[in-house]
Amino acid sequence: MKKTLIIGYGNPDRQDDGVAWHILVCLAKRLNRPAPPSFEEDFLPSGENPELSFSLQLTPEMAETIADYERVCFIDAHTGSVPEDIHVEAMSPSFQTSPFTHHLTAPACLYLVKALYNASPEALLVSVRGYRFGFEHDLSPETTRLAGEACDRVLAWLGETAPL
């Protein structure tokens, strides 16, 4: 398997916005790896492939880490502006500006990887529909169901199960 990094991001304090953390926990369990008991603790570097990582948001500093991998999978939530409940899309580097000061997209992050480190890992975005964004840690029932399906799709991408 190619050296792979799976980055989940979102805000677990805002219900379904934290779906990526739940998907990473599912992946850790399915890959027989330890998972942190709460989103406040990091996924410990395992030295195993794939490496799992969670953050509240993508940051420019992640470019250095991503450059060391052959493949990267970004996992995030979406609000319904995307037609599919689980959207899977290949990503490529793309310069993007944002009106928000703390917002970096996966393509913009990959653009930094290419511009700063001349690296172009194969990249995938798995985006899961969120239904509720209240101030809770638990996912809505709808997004909980989708999180399991998203975990299956990431495992398929990894080659651990049947194709996507």
Q: Where are the domains of the chain?
A: 4-158
Single-letter amino acid code for the residue at 105? T
Task: Compute the distance between CA of residue 80 and CA of residue 66 in angstroms, rounded to an integer.
Answer: 28
Q: Which residues contact 105 (CB under 8 A, 6 or more apart)?
A: 58, 94, 96, 98
SS3 124: strand
pLDDT in tens, the chain (164 residues): 899 999 999 999 999 999 999 999 999 999 999 999 998 898 988 889 999 999 999 999 999 999 999 999 999 999 978 899 999 999 999 886 655 545 789 999 999 999 999 999 999 999 999 999 999 999 999 999 999 999 999 999 999 654 44
Angle between helix axes 141-158 and 19-30 (nearest 10 degrees) is 50
* Whether 131 contacts 10, CB under 8 Å: no
Determine the pLDDT at residue 45: 81
CATH of domain 4-158: 3.40.50.1450
Give the per-residue pLDDT at 46.
Answer: 80
In what helix (H) or strand (E) does residue 76 lie, and over which residues does it extend? strand 71-78
